């Protein structure tokens, strides 16, 4: 999911290009805006973290671009492509090193397991929207 800081900075195209050039197939993609309720639900696993309120506010503040991506070893390879959560620690050339503004407004989200990728894909897309 491309996050609001990256969409508002006009980096959706550049990031999507990096994703495709890294060998991912875009199975589904759209623009959307989360309500605070839905952003809270998406990040429910972080409910007890001190930054949860800030994260929900930020994630519902603007346009996001959720995608379903396909590739062998997709979860691990995508996390390598996006880089560390904190852009100051992200390896050079990664999406977050190039486009993230801060540890919270960090340009992009990637699922952390195949199981969560399925849950998050279902959160944003109905079966009807995939091809
Ligand atoms: P990710 O898997 O790399 O996205 O990182 P996490 O699952 O640990 O955190 C989820 C999201 O919460 C991150 O992508 C950031 O947007 C936000 N986040 C993580 N750590 C912090 C923090 O220390 N402060 C704030 N404000 N936001 C954070």
For residue 39, tell me if it sits in a domain: no
Which residues form the domain of 95? 4-33+66-129
CATH number of the domain to which 101 belongs: 3.30.70.141
What is the rounded average pLDDT for all residues in the chain?
Answer: 97
Q: What percent of the chain stands above pLDDT 90?
A: 96
Cβ count near 18 (within 10 Å) = 19
Q: Is the CB of 51 under 6 A from ligand 1?
A: yes
**Measured on CA atoms in the order 88, 91, 96, 97, is the torsion positive or negative?**
positive
Which residues are catalytic, by number? 109
For residue 42, tell me if it sits in a domain: no
**Ligand 1 centre distance from Cα of residue 13 (Å):** 23
**Ligand 1 centre distance from Cα of residue 104 (Å):** 6
Q: Is the CB of 112 under 6 A from ligand 1?
A: yes
Q: Is the pLDDT of residue 128 over 90?
A: no
Per-position DSSP letters for 11-64, written without gaps between them: -HHHHHHHHHHTT-EEEEE--B---HHHHHHHTGGGTTSTTHHHHHHHHTSS-B
For residue 106, tell me if it sits in a domain: yes
For residue 75, tell me if it sits in a domain: yes
pLDDT, one tens digit per residue, over 48-100 is 999 999 999 999 999 999 999 999 999 999 999 999 999 999 999 999 999 99
For residue 55, tell me if it sits in a domain: no
* Number of domains composing the chain: 1
């Amino acid at each position: 999911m491309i996050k609001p800081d990256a969409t508002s900075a006009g980096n959706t195209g550049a990031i999507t290009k990096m994703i495709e050039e890294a060998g991912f197939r875009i199975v589904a993609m759209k623009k959307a805006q989360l309500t605070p309720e839905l952003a809270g639900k998406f990040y429910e696993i972080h409910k007890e973290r001190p930054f949860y309120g800030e994260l929900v506010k930020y994630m519902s503040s603007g346009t996001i671009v959720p995608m379903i991506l396909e590739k062998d070893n997709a979860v691990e390879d995508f996390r390598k492509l996006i880089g560390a959560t904190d852009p100051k620690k992200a390896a050079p050339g990664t999406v977050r090193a190039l486009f993230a503004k801060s540890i919270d407004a960090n340009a992009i989200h990637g699922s952390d397991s195949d199981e969560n990728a399925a849950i998050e894909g279902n959160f944003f897309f109905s079966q009807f929207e995939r091809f």
